[in-house]
Amino acid sequence: MISASQMRAARALLGIDQRQLAALSGVSLPTIQRMEASDGTVRGVIDTLMKVVDALDAAGIELIGPGQPSRGEGRGVRLKDAR
C-alpha cells in the first residue's frame, strides 16, 4: 500500500510537515507520526491509510509500488534495485 519512507518522501516533495499532512488527510497527528515511524509497509486501519493516500494523490503525489511503472510524466525519483 504505502511505506513509511514513501510518506516521508511525499511530504518532502510537497514541502509539508506531519501536522500539515494530518490536516490534509483528516488523520490525527499522532497517527501520522506512528505511520512514519513504522518499518516498511505502514499497517493500520484501511480507511485511515486510504485517507492519507487520497490526500497525497490530491496534492499531486504519485505513489509507485515495487516493479510498477510510473504513469506520470516529468521528473521523479525512485529507489534502484539493490543488485
Q: CATH number for the domain including 8?
A: 1.10.260.40
Closest CA to 36 of 78, 65, 8, 64: 8
Give pLDDT < 70 ranges for the chain. 74-83
70 within domain boundaries: no
11 within domain boundaries: yes
75 within domain boundaries: no
Is the torsion defined by CA of 27, 68, 14, 58 positive or negative?
negative
Number of domains within the chain: 1
- Report percent pLDDT > 90 for the chain: 58
10 within domain boundaries: yes
pLDDT at 75: 66
**Domain housing 25:** 4-58
> What's the predicted TM-score (pTM) here?
0.84
16 within domain boundaries: yes
